[in-house]
Amino acid sequence: MERETRTITAPSGKEVVMKTYLTPRELREIKKIYVNLVQSAPRPGESVKLVGVGDAQEQAENKLIELSVTSYDGSAEDVLNRLLDGNPQEGNAEDYDFVLEKANELNAPLQTAK
């Protein structure tokens, strides 16, 4: 069964097609990034694994966009990198933050989980 999507317009005027929800399995993929950060604390005698909160945040944002956005500007190819490479001169630099905000709305069940 194909998942329902919705089309929104980014600040640049480009169309973004997003899923209307994330499954619990997808939400777990995002949560796993943070759990791995907590579990990366070294035990006595182990070397320190340098993964910071910033790294985990970046990985989680990337995963969230990968899971929630099905196409950007008419193409499903390399959506994340095209959003990250937004160019102010082309008027699409704000699209990443806009899409991330909309994707975070799908991530709300994870943020409010107890």
pLDDT at 114 over 50: no
* Domain boundaries, position 78: 5-111
Q: How confident is the model at residue 16 (pLDDT cuts 50, 70, 90)?
A: very high
Domain count of the chain?
A: 1
* Gap between the Cα atoms of 19 and 55, Å rounded: 25
Assign residue 91 a region (left: φ > 0; alpha: ψ between -120 and 50; beta: otherwise): left
Write down the pTM of the prediction.
Answer: 0.81
Cα Rg of the chain (Å, integer): 16
Q: Find the range with the poorest average confidence among 11-15, 17-21, 48-52, 87-91.
A: 48-52
Host H or E run for residue 8: strand 5-9
pLDDT at 42 over 70: no
Parallel/antiparallel/unpaired status of strands 69-72 and 5-9: unpaired
